[in-house]
Amino acid sequence: MPEQKSINKEFIDEVIDVLREGRKLRRRLPTWGQILIEQQLPYLCVYRQPPQWEDWGTDQLVSGGGSFLIASSKKRDYEGLVNLIDRVSKELTSCFGTFLIVEIWAGAEVIVSEHEPLGRSVFRLSHLKSQPVSSYLQVLAKQLSLLQIGDRASSVTLAPTDKVAPPGMRPLLSAQQVSESGLHIIGLEVAPIYRNGARQHTYPNVLKELEAKFSPVLEKTFFEFLKKETTICPPNYMSLGRRSIVHSVWQIDRIIAEVGNIVDFLLLVTPTNSKEAFEEFKRRRYEKAPRFNYHPAPFDPVTLKRLLYKAPVERIEDPTLAQLFRDQQMDIDSRITMVAERGKKRFLYCSLQLYDGPDKKLVQLAEQILTSIPERSKGESVKRLLTAEEFAQRAEIELDYYRAQCPDLASKVEIRDDIPGVLVSQGNLLIGKGRKIFEGRAEALLSHEVGTHILTNYNGHLQPFKQMSAGLPGYDQLQESLAVLAEYLVGGLSNRRLRTLAARVLAVHWLIEGADFVEVCGRLMTQYDFNDDVAFTVTMRVFRSGGFTKDVVYLRGLAELLDHLKNGLQLDLLFLGKFGIEHLPIVRELMWRKILVPAKMKPYYLEQPAAQKRLDKVKKGISVMDLVGKP
């Protein structure tokens, strides 16, 4: 029989050599399991696989961190495991003066019923009687008590004990060893609500949610330990997260990006015959809804979704990245479905899932804007109109400014006859051939399209993940509100423009309530005095493809962004790629972990005194109504 592999001296010496050289340590154990230490810091999470039963899911609570050891608990492996931990702790103690071991294990199987299908999160913290209750233990207890799975609060108990170890296992360190060496050890027993042992069911989504919330709890605990028990103090607990990215993440990113590039979503849901449709609408005295044509979809939805789900997001150990890519997968899935459902009632339902509709407060704001703000801004000139060609020339000048800073900016300007207005698609500026633009609106529109959408697309390309340029789920609302804010900062947000954004909200509201195309367009013209071409464009945008509720994000996002800036949000952070406000915590964490990089290119107007003055006004706190001149 072949000799049984063990955690021997040669393996341990190799581990210590890696640590002494300051390199990232990642090794498979000769028996079973692995050890990972990304940063040379004095703590380690430990999990031992019970030999008697399959402990599904518990090891994943450990593997999301940047310093962990997963090993077998078989008796024959105990000595080698203890020697490994002893050498690692001594090596890092020599650098930092102390060392913390957090051992995690699953408690008794959770008893559930039909009325209570999900158990409550229960945590039991074991600490040695001989050691005082430290501040990091108090932080751990508090953070666990705040942890919620679904709508269920957690329960935490502290249990002084003579030894810290899972039931039936020998301790990794005795109380005497801890006392003599100055080490720290605590045990954390977790109720396995992510499975039902009696029925042999597993709940992957519950485990994912627990894992995503559990990792920050541990990082905050380690942060407190470093501050109070060692001579080092990291800048933020988020900097303790994992920094290395395994090959599977790059593979997943590539697959999802390839699918996202095939789904040129905005272009595919926008009519190609808007000009002809408007003329048809007028000929019929605004009494019959026009017919819209669309680009044929360049993909089969089922085949494309099959490709999308080839990305094995379940292999990602890092809970933050796993959440990000899982959200992105679901978002692209929804967009593929929407393209397949163009022209059908189901398109509206899919759109509501992505963008929702306006709430009562937003509808009231839109009505306030339309009833109290006149169409014409003071001093506004609407005489000179730029043709598509003239606007394209100005856009090229704008792009040349940014290319001088970043010569690799590959964005192009295209004049096309298959789109009604101006939009950015896959980093390029597309201008409708028949579009005419008020000269006074040109700078604001360029700041919106080039200074926001193209700029964030470029900065996103410089990030390690392609998703940051394609756009994370929910990015539209922050992108569009940031772009509208840019219009204000350059002094180009007119009454007419704000009224249009408000009209879009009401049009979506009426659509959801059951109004048809003719009714919505007629109400905008008769009730709020919009010209027929503006009313038609607003209505077309909302009714395109079967009911597109995206246009609520402009006004809703603007109000939300103003609140965030008032409360201290740094504007620079918003330009490093395309993401939503809800992903700000993830973006901040990945910045602290040095996975994402700061924005390389920033809008030119942020250097202008007039724009800075307006931005200072925003930071002090203003409402949407304050962004334009009122009578």
Domain assignment of residue 207, yes or no: yes
Average pLDDT value for residue range 73-77:
92
What pLDDT sits at residue 305?
A: 96
Task: Give the count of beta carbons closer than 10 Å to the beta carbon of residue 103.
Answer: 25
CB-side neighbour CA atoms (13 Å) of 404: 6
Domain assignment of residue 85, yes or no: yes
- Give Rg (Cα) of the chain: 29
Got the DSSP string for 314-330? GG---HHHHHHHHHHHH
Cα 327 to the center of its chain, rounded Å: 8
pLDDT in tens, 187-216: 999 999 998 876 678 889 899 999 989 999
What own/partner pairs with CB < 8 Å and gap ≥ 24 does 25-32 have?
26/244, 29/70, 29/71, 29/72, 30/5, 30/6, 31/5, 31/6, 31/7, 31/71, 31/72, 31/74, 31/77, 31/80, 32/71, 32/72, 32/77
Got the DSSP string for 187-250? EEEE--TTEETTTTEE-HHHHHHHHHHHHHHHHHHHHHHHHHHSS---S-GGGGS-----HHHH
What pLDDT sits at residue 241?
A: 79
Q: Domain of 160?
A: 9-236
Domain assignment of residue 81, yes or no: yes
Alpha carbons 443 and 581: distance in angstroms, whole number: 26
Confidence grade of residue 395 (pLDDT, cut at 50, 70, 90): very high
Confidence grade of residue 504 (pLDDT, cut at 50, 70, 90): very high
Domain assignment of residue 515, yes or no: no
The number of distinct structural domains making up the chain is: 2
Paired strand residues for 125 = 158, 188
Handedness of CA 468, 470, 472, 478 (dihedral sign): positive
What pLDDT sits at residue 350?
A: 94
What pLDDT sits at residue 499?
A: 96
Domain final position from 236, 263, 287? 236
What pLDDT sits at residue 116?
A: 61
Q: Are strands 155-161 and 195-196 parallel, antiparallel or unpaired?
A: unpaired
User: Does residue 242 surpass a pLDDT of 80?
Assistant: no
Domain assignment of residue 291, yes or no: no
Q: Average pLDDT of the chain?
A: 90
Domain assignment of residue 277, yes or no: no
What pLDDT sits at residue 92?
A: 93
**Closest of 467, 448, 548 to residue 507, by C-alpha:** 548
Average pLDDT value for residue range 380-400:
87
* CATH for 111: 3.40.630
Q: Which helix (H) or strand (E) holds 122?
A: strand 122-128
Tell me which of 242-251, 364-373, 395-404, 542-551 is least confident: 242-251
Cα 601 to the center of its chain, rounded Å: 21
Q: What is the dihedral of CA 542, 547, 553, 554, to 10 degrees?
A: -10
Contact between residue 295 and residue 272 where contact means Cβ atoms under 8 Å apart: yes
User: Does residue 593 surpass a pLDDT of 90?
Assistant: no
Domain assignment of residue 210, yes or no: yes
Which tokens in the block code for residue 449? 């399209």
Which tokens in the block code for residue 384? 């000179």
User: Does residue 412 surpass a pLDDT of 80?
Assistant: yes
Which tokens in the block code for residue 395? 């856009």
What pLDDT sits at residue 131?
A: 83
pLDDT in tens, 464-488: 888 899 888 889 999 999 999 999 9
pLDDT in tens, 607-621: 899 999 999 999 999
Domain final position from 188, 215, 236? 236
User: Does residue 115 surpass a pLDDT of 90?
Assistant: no
User: Does residue 60 surpass a pLDDT of 70?
Assistant: yes
Confidence grade of residue 2 (pLDDT, cut at 50, 70, 90): very low
User: Does residue 348 surpass a pLDDT of 70?
Assistant: yes
Q: Are strands 33-37 and 67-72 parallel, antiparallel or unpaired?
A: antiparallel
**Closest of 300, 279, 303, 299 to residue 290, by C-alpha:** 279
Confidence grade of residue 538 (pLDDT, cut at 50, 70, 90): very high
Domain final position from 195, 215, 236? 236
- The most confident of 49-58, 359-368, 419-428, 600-609, by mean pLDDT: 359-368
- The most confident of 150-159, 268-277, 321-330, 499-508, by mean pLDDT: 499-508
Alpha carbons 284 and 596: distance in angstroms, whole number: 54
User: Does residue 378 surpass a pLDDT of 90?
Assistant: no
Confidence grade of residue 3 (pLDDT, cut at 50, 70, 90): very low
**Closest of 53, 55, 72, 91 to residue 6, by C-alpha:** 72
As a three-state string, the secondary structure of 590-622 is HHHCCCCCCCCCCCHHHHCHHHHHHHHHHHHCC
> Model pTM greater than 0.75?
yes
Domain assignment of residue 534, yes or no: no
User: Does residue 277 surpass a pLDDT of 80?
Assistant: yes
Tell me which of 203-207, 346-350, 361-365, 611-615 is least confident: 203-207
